[in-house]
């Protein structure tokens, strides 16, 4: 504790798990492009939109809920509906 009674060290909250914007724009770019094309029908090479429009679409891709499949034996399987969702559920980012 310092003289003011405050701790000398304050723990910062952990960063949330998941991809960063940098990884979405570099490493995961092919999946983002394909999902945007499939979901919204837009082609990044010809679309000229503001950053906010793209940001909202990518955020949506990150929150698309998985499809729930129940097998004949009663097993419940959650299957991601986007390429980005498949990647994020099979890889630790």
Sketch the domain layout of the chain as residue ranges: 21-90
pLDDT at 91: 74
User: Can you tell me the mean pLDDT for 64-74?
Assistant: 90
For the entire predicted model, the pTM comes to 0.64
Q: Is the pLDDT of residue 92 over 60?
A: no
As given in the structure block, the two tokens for residue 53 are: 């429009």
**Per-residue model confidence as pLDDT tens digits over 36-48:** 889 888 887 777 8
Tell me which H or E stretch contains 67.
Answer: strand 67-70
pLDDT digits (tens, 9 = 90+) for 7-61: 666 566 666 667 888 888 888 888 888 998 898 888 877 778 888 888 899 889 8
């Amino acid at each position: 504790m310092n003289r003011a009674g405050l701790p000398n060290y304050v723990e910062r909250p952990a960063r949330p798990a998941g991809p960063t914007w940098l990884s979405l724009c570099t490493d995961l770019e092919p999946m983002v492009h394909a999902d945007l094309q499939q979901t919204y029908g837009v082609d990044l090479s010809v679309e000229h939109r503001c950053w906010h429009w793209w940001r909202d679409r990518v955020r949506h891709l990150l929150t698309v809920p998985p499809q729930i499949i129940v097998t004949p034996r009663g097993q419940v399987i959650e299957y991601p509906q986007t390429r980005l969702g498949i990647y994020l559920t099979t890889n630790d980012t």
